[in-house]
Structures are given as C-alpha cells and as structure tokens.
Structure 1
Amino acid sequence: MGNSGWLNEREMAAWHGFVEASNRVDRRLEQQLKDDAGLSHPQYEILVRLAEAPDGEIRMTELARLLITSKSGLTYQVGQLEKRGLVRRRSCPTDVRGVFAVLTDEGRRLLEEAAPGHVATVREVLIDVLDEAELDVLARALGRVGHRLRGPGHQDEGSPRG
C-alpha cells in the first residue's frame, strides 16, 4: 500500500474492473432513467435528496455537498428540473445569498414513478450479481475509499444511494 510505482497485475485487474463496472453501471442507470422518466442520473439524485429532506427542501450549497458536485453543475441541473416544474428555487429569508431547492408535487410524483424501475435496475446490474459476502466487502471497501477521499474533518455524508 502507498507504493507510487506501477500497478502490479492484481492491482491493475482491480482498477480495470472498477473502472469498467462503474462506467457500465452508470451508463445503464442513465439509460433506464432517461427511458422511464426523462431524467439524468444526477437529476434523479437531486429529487431523491430533496424527497428525503425535511419539507422537501435543501439549501443549494448543502445539496451540492451531498451530491459531491460543483455549485455550477448543480445550478444547471436544478435549472433543468425547474423548467419541467419538478423543482423550484426560493430565497433564504435569513441570508440574501442563500437559495433553497424545493421539490414540487410534480417532482415527488415523478420520483415515485421512476424509483421502482431505478431500484430494479440497480438490483439487476449490481446487487443481484453479488452474493452477501461480496456485498459486504464492496460496501466496506468503497466506504473506506470514500472516507479517505472526504479527508479529515469532513462529516460522514451517509451511505451511497442507488
């Protein structure tokens, strides 16, 4: 561990496997969400986070942190959702610079329609491919990678979502 030299055969196999699997899973989820709900995966995740939030709203800076995205990227995605009437923005009453993203009734309805197909696809492409021991190892290993990349002083952002 920590060796800055080239990857050995085992390490290269792990890296290539991770890259291929993560890209293929992401593409499959993108296609499923586009076909079923006309959403991108980032847009779906925005709706999920808003649905989980108290009163269906989160400050944009907090939402960007939770989704591990840039503020500008989030602003673009929220703008696209806003055009469809799935999300609206409102100003923060206590901070003139603050903006909240708010889930609309239409956004909640679309999320509820899209979620079963999304979960079925997550199961098909990842969960059901692995046995229980492999799922445990994957959760621990990727959790450790995420924790390391968050760095010291960052609070745990919870478990990843499908």
Structure 2
Amino acid sequence: MPTDPPPVRLTSEAWESLFRAQVTVMRRLRQDPAFRQLAIGEYDVLFNLTRCSTGWTRLNELNGHLLISQPSLSRMIDRLEAKGLVARRAAETDQRGVEVALTDEGRALQHSIGSAHVQRIQEVLGPVLSSEELEQLRFLTGKITQAVEQQP
C-alpha cells in the first residue's frame, strides 16, 4: 500500500535540520587539536583512501566520496604527495587516468589522527544521543544515501 509523500515543508525543515546539525558538529570537530597536523579536508582524503580494497583508486572515484571539485582534489593530492602522504601512478587500465594510494607515512598519520578524531566524535555525540538513537541515525542516513545514489 503506497503512502502519501510527506509535505514539502516538513521535508525542507528536516533537510535544514540535518544540514545545520552537520555544520554544527563539523565546526566543533574542526577545533580538534589532531587537525593541527593536517586539515580536516586532507584527512578526509586519507580516510577515504584507507577504504580502497586494492589500496589504489582513480582520482575520479575518490572524488565521488568528497565534497570538493576535481581540480581542487588534484591540487590537494599534489600537496599530500609533496608531504609524502600519498603516491600517484598512471592507471593500470588506462594510462591517461591517475590512481592514488596512501604511503606508509600517510597510513600512519591517518591512523593517528583517526584515533583522536573518533574519540572527539564520541565526546561530542556520546552525551547527546543514546545507543538506540545513534543506531536510528545511522539507519536513516544510510537509507537516504542509498536512495539518493540510486536515483538517476
């Protein structure tokens, strides 16, 4: 039995609430001393590289997980490569493409910052939401992500 879509105003208010919560939490997390070593956006690149099953990923695939433009990502990869945190190579299947991976130093830094970052997330969200509420939040945001990714 199909249900009626929610009212436009409720959908808009729920989106605004989700967006404002994310902005508020991110502002707090950016204050974390762990991000003195590396900007949070650069950390996000390292984090996403840890999720690559082969260790290497194409720039355009990596870009699909980030909120920055392809040219901005290319410049960021240049900076991270200069710091010795990522390596770059021609794509194995298409020599015009570029693949990137973490170096050992990049993996170690991501792990170090990530450990502190996870603790900070716990400090910010742990006192606010119960385990059940966190499970519900994870379920709902996963549902949104999956549905939007499946849309044409």
**Same fold flag (TM > 0.5):** yes
Deviation at 1:118, TM superposition (A): 0.5
> Scaled by the length of structure 1, what TM-score is found?
0.75
Give the Cα separation in 2 of the matches to 1:20 and 1:54: 33
* 2:149 equivalent in structure 1: 150
- The unaligned stretches of length 5 or more in structure 2 are none
Equivalence for 1:156: none
**Change in 2 beyond 3 A, CA 1:50/1:16:** closer
Matches of 2:60 and 2:142, distance apart in 1: 23
Which residue in 1 is equivalent to 2:61?
62
Within 2, Cα distance between the matches of 1:64 and 1:94?
Answer: 18
Quick one: percent identity of the two aligned structures?
A: 33
Q: Does 1:23 align with 2:23?
A: yes
* Partner of residue 35, structure 2: 34
**Structure 1 residues 139 and 54, CA gap change in structure 2 (3 angstroms):** closer
1:93 aligned partner, one-letter code: E
Structure 1 distance, partners of 2:30, 2:56, is: 24
Cα distance change of structure 1 residues 20 and 66 upon mapping to structure 2, 3 Å threshold: closer
Superposition RMSD on alpha carbons, in Å? 2.5
Q: TM-score, normalised by structure 2?
A: 0.80
Deviations 1:88-128 (CA, angstroms, capped at 9, x unpaired): 21112331211011211211121122121100111112244
Q: Which residue of 2 aligns with 1:52?
A: 51
Q: Partner residue of 2:135?
A: 136
Size of the aligned set, in residue pairs, is 147
